[in-house]
Amino acid sequence: MTEQGAGLGAGRDTGLQPERTAMAWQRTALGLGGVSALLVHDAESRIALATPGVVGLAGALALLLLVERRYEHTIRQVTSGGTPMGPRLVRWTAWGTVLLSVAAVAVVLGVAATPQ
């Protein structure tokens, strides 16, 4: 049980904090994807209005991939006694969400202005 391989096993937190944090990131990425998909759906066939949602979906996918890297980084830091603190992805996620909300306002207003 102590040998878990790949150098990611030693001294693991029994509270599974890195795992819980990684899954919180994944849920957030899924949430971003969900709102983005909703915006694409809202825009229907208006190509310009669908753009923010498509960009958001791409961002959510990128976040899912980055989260995997962040999880491995966290494990490495924790096992070597370092800090897993990383402000960059936190900042990007926050500002991305702010941007998505501004885009959502534009999409809702745009849809209302161009009835199909």
Cβ 99 to another protein shortest distance, Å: 8
Q: Which stretch binds another protein (CB under 8 A): 2-10, 18-26, 44-52?
A: 18-26
Burial class (CB in 10 A: 0-12, 13-18, 19+), 113: exposed
Integer distance in angstroms from the first to the last C-alpha of the chain?
62
Give dist(CA 66, CA 26) in Å, integer: 10
Cα dihedral 87→30→66→10 (10° resolution): 90
- Please identify which residue in 9, 11, 69, 91 interacts with another protein, judged by CB under 8 A: 91
Query: Is residue 44 within the footprint of another protein (CB under 8 A)?
Result: no
Phi, psi torsion values for 20, nearest 5 degrees: -60, -40
Q: Residues touching another protein: how many (CB under 8 A)?
A: 41
- Please identify which residue in 9, 20, 58, 65 interacts with another protein, judged by CB under 8 A: 20
Query: Is residue 21 within the footprint of another protein (CB under 8 A)?
Result: yes
Cα dihedral 52→68→31→105 (10° resolution): -30
Q: Which residues bind another protein (CB under 8 A)?
A: 13, 15, 17-18, 20-21, 24-25, 27-28, 31-32, 34-35, 38-39, 42, 74, 77-78, 82-85, 87, 90-91, 93-95, 97-98, 100-102, 104-105, 107-109, 112
